[in-house]
Amino acid sequence: MAAKTDVYGDLRAPREMIGSTLVELIEAGEDVVVLDGDLGLSTRLGPVEDAHPDRLVQLGVAEQNAMGVATGLSYTGVRPVFVSMAMFALALPWTQLRQAAYAGAPVVVIGTHPGVDMGPDGGTHQCLEDLALARAIPELLVLTPADSAQTANAIAWAVRQREHPVYIRVGRHPVAQLYDPDAEFAPGGHEVIADHGGRALIVTEGSTASLGRDAADALAGRGIGARVVHLPSLKPLDADGIRAAASGCELVVTVENHSVIGGLGDAVCGVVGPQGAHVERIGTPDVFGMSATGDEMREAFGLTPDAVAARIAAWLSTPPLGGTAR
């Protein structure tokens, strides 16, 4: 799958592709049944309700039950797709999802509004730890598409495969379009989306791909070369590809819309740390969220291109620390 280094179209929110993609799959003959927990307006399930109301099951605010229903449906040959905000799609029914994975049920779970995307609803609704929770479940695939096009293709891939339960992390915040809609999706691998030189390697997940690219552009304006790699999945993780991309770099930086504990940063540290790479993690610290807009949250936690570029420039200006991770 080849990434584009230029913007494809306008800024778009990845969640906008959920309902329309599921409709396309239904009309292509996939036996999809969509499970909603009374959040279809926010998760953009309107197209399914309008075009195929018989394929949308409204289960109300009963997420643990929804995961049990999804597991049962999967045994009938139906492709259950449970869609909700990350806090309610994964964190709340985590035990039921773990049991689905233990039973080998190939359920598809789509979690929207991850990380700081939830904004004003505050710390109770902002799931800053969904990647950590998902990575810990054995045999659960964890997909982190970068933009709207890749989100649509990741959903289609997940529905059509029949072997694994899948969690797909889908952003709410509008982002630049980096991928061609016709590009095929496959989990694993890594994709270079910017390359201004090799002093620093910036590793991104999901919606931070365009953030990392913009930070690398800002660094290039300062005469600092950085390469940006996007990971379309954290499970499976392209360990060999990450190690190869990091080879020769002075610094490896992970940028994630997630806690620095248990997510992308820890995954990359586990891969490149043993080879002595100096890794720095940018994400939310060990705190709960707060009530603020998504933009205010990103500013507060330094998840903006200028803030990321400034931190990388500062790290590169200090004496080498050796193979450490912070």
pLDDT at 167: 98
pLDDT at 7: 46
Are 155 and 280 in contact by the 8 Å Cβ rule? The answer is no
pLDDT at 274: 83
Asked whether the CA dihedral 244, 305, 185, 73 is positive or negative, the reply is positive
State how far the Cα of 208 lies from the Cα of 304, in Å rounded to an integer: 9
How many CB atoms sit inside 10 A of residue 50's CB?
11
Q: What is the DSSP string of 164-181?
A: S-EEEEE--S-B---S-T
Beta pairing class for 191-195 and 226-231: antiparallel
- Angle (CA) 17-84-295 rounded to 5° is 70
pLDDT at 320: 55
Are 117 and 289 in contact by the 8 Å Cβ rule? The answer is no
pLDDT at 319: 59
**Residue 190 exposure: Cα atoms within 13 Å on the Cβ side:** 23
Q: Which residues, given as ranges, of the chain have pLDDT below 50?
A: 1-8, 321-326
Q: How far is CA 287 from CA 29, 87, 163, in A?
A: 45, 16, 36
State how far the Cα of 105 lies from the Cα of 166, in Å rounded to an integer: 10
State how far the Cα of 84 lies from the Cα of 65, in Å rounded to an integer: 13
State how far the Cα of 301 lies from the Cα of 292, in Å rounded to an integer: 12
**Residues in contact with 136: Cβ distance below 8 Å, sequence separation at least 6, in sequence order:** 262
**Residues in contact with 166: Cβ distance below 8 Å, sequence separation at least 6, in sequence order:** 106, 107, 108, 109, 140, 141, 142, 143, 158
State how far the Cα of 123 lies from the Cα of 117, in Å rounded to an integer: 11
State how far the Cα of 14 lies from the Cα of 112, in Å rounded to an integer: 9
Q: Could you report how far apart the first and last alpha carbons of the chain are, in Å?
A: 32
Are 106 and 165 in contact by the 8 Å Cβ rule? The answer is yes
